[in-house]
Amino acid sequence: MAQPVKIAPAKGKLGILLPGMGAVATTFVAGVELVRKGKSQPVGSLTQLGTIRLGKRTDGRTPQINKFVPLANLKDLVFGGWDIFKDNAYQAAANAGVLEHRDLEAVKPFMSKIKPMTAAFDPKFVRLLDGPNVKKGKTKYELALQIKDDIANFKKTSGADRLVACWCGSTESFLKPGAVHATPKSFEDGMKKNHPDISPSMLYAWACVTSGVPYANGSPNLSVDIPAIEKLAHDNNVAIAGKDFKTGQTLMKTVLAPAFKARMLGLDGWFSTNILGNRDGEVLEDPGSFKTKEESKLGVLEHILQPDLYPQLYGKMHHKVRINYYPPRGDNKEGWDAIDIFGWLGYPMQIKVDFLCRDSILAAPIVLDLVLFLDLAQRAGMRGIQEWLSFYFKSPMTAKGLYPEHDLFIQSMKLKNTLRWMVGEDLITHLGREYYD
């Protein structure tokens, strides 16, 4: 067995900071409270329900993950956040319309007390939204400093010992990394000069990382994944992760595509449509925000199927993604995939996947797992990009020069092996020769 990593205990309260308190964030907070009250189950959460096999299959050692590694206990979580609307978490959840009346009423007093702090917002980045609960400041730097003050105040007033943040705000317009994002210095100068390529989500990421707060990015925005903030995370010993929660359609894609590749089945094309009617869908009507989402969704197949290695199977595939805002569906998205594959001698076949999913119900447990695992990583001294959390993202962040691993099963193995490594247990290779010697 290897040496375990030194992990500081999870003592005291863990403050969860949520920039963006819309459908996903409020479904997450309400869900944690319902689970704490014993009124519901944390379905979809690996940290709460998952187990991990240790040693040989014959050893019979399969502890619960939350007993195996020292994660924060749900009862120790406290919540805060920012939004451009003044609604408290109860009102925001009611507007989002994800949870049923009986569930929301059961947590009304708790949710009503969570009031959003004023947001750093710029309608240029989210064209179809505007709200009154916003910060004022002459420069982006001033706004970022105000966020740092908010973080410090929240820590004091909530009595939290440690903090962790997860961006649950809207998808911002598409941005490419440029010179202003290259170094901590260029980024700080850029904020002071109101550089147009610095988005609000980057201000939150900068404020958190420079305050020592681990940060996960749940949307596809260019945000914590710029060299300037990656360097700051490294230098300040802060854990970061991103980006874009892998919830519905992409989850299915990263399950099916590895199966096709494992069996050497070919792919002519994959047409993905989405119909959704929540605020996220409304924001994605704007071509700038859609482009950010599209890029995030499109990368997956190329990386899993490796057309350069298998040109005869995947060299000519067509991959299209469409998102349509369709109000009658609300948060209940329909993700419809038409998949054209081919088999032996090139004979074509079709697969249709029609996933009638619930976006925020799928995303909420991901937020929970991410904040708990990021807090764990932070206490274990694992600074910078946490690639082992790729499991949760559509566009996983990696070290420079590495391609992202999208295959859900490789991601799951990497996550669990990282937990084994932290505790000093043997990694599992699935070789199993010893049973046949």
Which stretches of the chain bind ligand NAD, using CB under 6 A? Answer: 19-24, 82-85, 96, 119-121, 126, 129, 131, 168-171, 200, 218-219, 244-245, 247-248, 278-280, 283, 359-360, 362-363
Residues 150 and 18 sit within 8 Å (Cβ to Cβ): no
CB nearer to ligand NAD: pick between 66 and 289? 289
Whether cis (ω within 30° of 0) applies to the bond prior to 243 is yes
Token pair for residue 150? 């908010």
Task: Indicate the residue whose CB is closest to ligand NAD.
Answer: 22
Residues 131 and 119 sit within 8 Å (Cβ to Cβ): yes
Coil, strand or helix at 161: strand
**C-alpha distance across the termini of the chain, in Å:** 22
Coil, strand or helix at 27: helix
CB nearer to ligand NAD: pick between 232 and 251? 251
CB nearer to ligand NAD: pick between 363 and 376? 363
Nearest distance from C-beta of residue 362 to ligand NAD, angstroms: 5
CB nearer to ligand NAD: pick between 74 and 165? 165
Q: What DSSP designation does 257 have?
A: H
Nearest distance from C-beta of residue 148 to ligand NAD, angstroms: 15
Nearest distance from C-beta of residue 246 to ligand NAD, angstroms: 7
Nearest distance from C-beta of residue 352 to ligand NAD, angstroms: 21
What is the Cβ-side half-sphere exposure of residue 44, based on CA atoms within 13 angstroms? 22
CB nearer to ligand NAD: pick between 103 and 161? 103
Kindly report the backbone phi and psi dihedral angles of residue 325, in degrees, each rounded to the nearest multiple of 5, phi listed first: -80, 120
Q: What is the largest CA-CA distance in the chain?
A: 72
CB nearer to ligand NAD: pick between 266 and 396? 396
Kindly report the backbone phi and psi dihedral angles of residue 402, in degrees, each rounded to the nearest multiple of 5, phi listed first: -100, 145
Nearest distance from C-beta of residue 131 to ligand NAD, angstroms: 6
Residues 158 and 18 sit within 8 Å (Cβ to Cβ): no
Angle ∠(9,12,17) on CA atoms, nearest 5? 105
Nearest distance from C-beta of residue 291 to ligand NAD, angstroms: 13
393 CB-near residues (< 8 Å, 6+ apart) = 241, 242, 243, 244, 245, 246
Nearest distance from C-beta of residue 24 to ligand NAD, angstroms: 3
Nearest distance from C-beta of residue 423 to ligand NAD, angstroms: 30
CB nearer to ligand NAD: pick between 187 and 290? 290
Q: How many CB atoms lie within 10 A of CB 389?
A: 25
CB nearer to ligand NAD: pick between 66 and 360? 360
Residue 40 CA to its chain's centroid (Å): 23
Q: Which helix or strand (DSSP H or E) is residue 93 part of? A: helix 89-96
